Amino acid sequence: MRRTILGMIHDAGSGHPGGSLSCVEILVLLYHCLMRHDPGNPAWPGRDRFVLSKGHAAPALYAVLADCGYFPVEELSTLRRFGSRLQGHPHMQSLPGLDCSTGSLGQGLSIASGMALGLRLRGSSARVYCLLGDGELQEGSVWEAIMSAPALGLSNLTAIVDNNGVQLDGRTCDIVPVEPLVDKWRAFGWNVRRCAGHDLDAMAKAVSGIMTGPSVLIADTVKGRGVSFMEGDCSWHGRAPDDGELADALAELGPC
Amino acid sequence: MLSTDLRPSREGYLQGLLDAAEIDPRVLVIDGDVGRSLGTQAFRERFPGRCFNLGIAEQNMACHAAGLALEGFMPFYATYAVFAVGRALDQIRTSICNMALPVRIGGAHGGSSVGPDGGTHQALEDISQTRSLPGMTVLVPADAAQTRQAVLASLNMPGPVYIRFGRNPVPQVYGEEWPVVSGRGNLLHEGRDIVIVACGSMVAPSLEAREVLLGEGVDATVIDMVSVKPLDGKLLMETTGSAAGVLTVEDHQVTGGLGGAVAEFLAVNRPLPMRMLGVPNRFGESGTPGELMGLFGLSTGGIVTAAIDLARSRG
């Protein structure tokens, strides 16, 4: 999956490798373990929904969706190109399998909360999952949704924070710290779990169980995970690897 | 045509919501802690499971509306126009318009109608902000009856719709039987000399100005351009054939709103002398709506003066 993502961004000549590599296991867990969905029927009303609030991780989501069979894997190489269904940030009108368009940080959790409310009104048992970045939590509007979701009693809403600790300009803790995340979300009335965000078993265990009210998983991850020269380095937030860097990264990641 | 019985347009908005909810199960209401001000508490009492108060958080309201629309509902969220649009503009752009979602935004207390609260609360840029967004329909009804009709008409419109209405009682221009149609303005009076195009609370003073202008030898057409976007270009072409010019009147910044829309259309299709009445690149201030209208030249007298200037410009 990481090889595919880096190849896509390399071919596109632009994109966000750091935040895409940090959420690979989270997306794999969602689409291959947790979520009820049907690639043969993307609009199935009973499906669980997913909102990629950190829309710049689109390459990772596209790679997972293609892996699930929502569209041909060959199409991944069209990322960010003119006329492509794989827009730089997710565009649901273009691509099957997307439940929401995103791109402007700080909005996805409110949308996901609205979807969860709508599903409850319809009597649906479907869940809504929303993936946020830790830097994204600096957007004040996120906290509006964190405040309102418990008030709405949305037990069918799960937020996941890809807590990779790095944003465009540097380490989140050096810019505007967002910790302590567990205390903050809990104080706002959420069911909070925290675990390693590259450990599928740990995450699956952390999000299991029926809970009253909305839930959040703080998934501790590494930006650029899997490529030593990208890990934890903010310069890889938003630039594509060149030919040599891609070769080095692929060599490090090993064969598929 | 004008009734001396004054009614606030927000009453029409509420009545429209109540009627819309009866006939369309998709209709939901999202409040932003102004339910007592807008009267939507009555909606909550009648449809308790279809009304949600999200508190003072306009960005959250806009995105919750988007989420509900994604699940097949038609949410109406309303608060004071200056916040309903301005505070949540990126949310409206990226999370509503970008997905062409059927969210209805009620912009209450539009324009100078919230007078004494002062410049911070007077929505004078909301029409230009919404008009520039792809796929957005912008409706600016003139009175309570037309505001109700706008709400009902929006049920059958594609994509997002912005409905702007005022706080204070205004003269009733319409009976209930005048439907609102997207892309359609209303020809209220035909005249020979100039064309006055107004929207919202400026329709009534434009009609009054027409009567005064007749005494001055100026016979003005009066159009209510309730559908600011899409604009009724056909009606403009039909009514401006022999006109000396076009005067636009709006309780909004003079740039980017109704005047801008009409100017854009005429510049391409039928260049004509224009005068544009609106708020001239400044913020409002505390005062009664009447005092502020006088300050901005948006009174009946101000419309008359501008209309005479335009009519005589042909020489």
Instruction: Please say if the pLDDT value at position B68 is more than 80.
Output: yes
pTM to 2 decimals? 0.96
Query: Across residues A185-201, what is the average pLDDT?
Result: 97
Instruction: Please say if the pLDDT value at position A10 is more than 80.
Output: yes
Query: Across residues B119-144, what is the average pLDDT?
Result: 97
pLDDT-derived band at B1 (thresholds 50, 70, 90) equals low
What pLDDT does residue B315 have?
57
Indicate the DSSP class of residue B93. Answer: I
Q: Look over chain A and give the mean of its residue pLDDT values, rounded to a whole number.
A: 96
B74-78, B116-120, B193-197, B300-304: which has the minimum mean pLDDT?
A: B116-120
Instruction: Please say if the pLDDT value at position A179 is more than 80.
Output: yes
Beta bridge partner(s), residue A50? A129
Query: Across residues B310-314, what is the average pLDDT?
Result: 89
Q: How far apart are CA B56 and CA B153, in angstroms?
A: 28
**What is the total residue count of chain A?**
256
What pLDDT does residue B28 have?
98
Q: Between chain A and chain B, how many beta carbons pairs sit less than 8 Å apart?
A: 99
Q: Does A46 touch chain B (CB under 8 A)?
A: no
pLDDT digits (tens, 9 = 90+) for B215-235: 999 999 999 999 999 999 999
The more confidently predicted of residues A206 and A211 is A206
Q: How far apart are CA B313 and CA A95, in angstroms?
A: 56
What pLDDT does residue B167 have?
87
ipTM here: 0.96
Query: Across residues B60-78, what is the average pLDDT?
Result: 98
Query: Across residues A72-92, what is the average pLDDT?
Result: 97
Query: Across residues A59-75, what is the average pLDDT?
Result: 97
pLDDT-derived band at A255 (thresholds 50, 70, 90) equals confident
Task: Identify the three-state secondary structure at position A156.
Answer: coil
- Residues of B with CB below 8 A from A107's CB? 59, 63, 90-91, 94-95
What pLDDT does residue A120 have?
98
**What is the total residue count of chain B?**
315
Give the orientation angle of helix B58-70 with respect to helix A140-152, to 10 degrees.
60
Burial of residue A233 (CB within 10 Å: 0-12, 13-18, 19+) is middle
Q: Are B59 and A115 in contact (CB < 8 Å)?
A: no
pLDDT-derived band at B18 (thresholds 50, 70, 90) equals very high
Q: Does A199 touch chain B (CB under 8 A)?
A: no
CA torsion sign for A181, A160, B72, B159 is positive
Instruction: Please say if the pLDDT value at position A89 is more than 80.
Output: yes
- On whether the CB atoms of residues B126 and B228 are closer than 8 A, the answer is no
- Residues of B with CB below 8 A from A118's CB? 67-68, 70-73
Which amino acid is residue B23, in one-letter code?
A: I
What pLDDT does residue B126 have?
98
Q: Does A99 touch chain B (CB under 8 A)?
A: yes
Q: Are A144 and B59 in contact (CB < 8 Å)?
A: yes
- Residues of A with CB below 8 A from B93's CB? 104
Q: Which of B67, B71, B91 sits opposite A122 (nearest CB)?
A: B71
Q: Which of A106, A115, A152 sits opposite B70 (nearest CB)?
A: A115
Q: Are B59 and A92 in contact (CB < 8 Å)?
A: no
- Residues of B with CB below 8 A from A116's CB? 67
The more confidently predicted of residues B314 and B151 is B151
pLDDT digits (tens, 9 = 90+) for B238-266: 999 999 999 999 999 999 999 999 999 99
Instruction: Please say if the pLDDT value at position A256 is more than 70.
Output: no
State which H helix or E strand residue A10 sits in: helix A2-12
- Residues of A with CB below 8 A from B57's CB? 141, 144, 147-148
- On whether the CB atoms of residues A85 and A94 are closer than 8 A, the answer is yes
pLDDT digits (tens, 9 = 90+) for A14-33: 999 999 999 999 999 999 99
Burial of residue A254 (CB within 10 Å: 0-12, 13-18, 19+) is exposed
- Residue B1's alpha-carbon distances to A189, B149, B204, in angstroms, are 56, 18, 10
| Percentage, residues of chain A above pLDDT 70 | 100
Instruction: Please say if the pLDDT value at position A64 is more than 90.
Output: yes
Q: Are A117 and B64 in contact (CB < 8 Å)?
A: yes
What pLDDT does residue B178 have?
87
Q: How far apart are CA B96 and CA B74, in angstroms?
A: 12
Instruction: Please say if the pLDDT value at position A212 is more than 70.
Output: yes
Instruction: Please say if the pLDDT value at position A145 is more than 60.
Output: yes
Which amino acid is residue B140, in one-letter code?
A: V
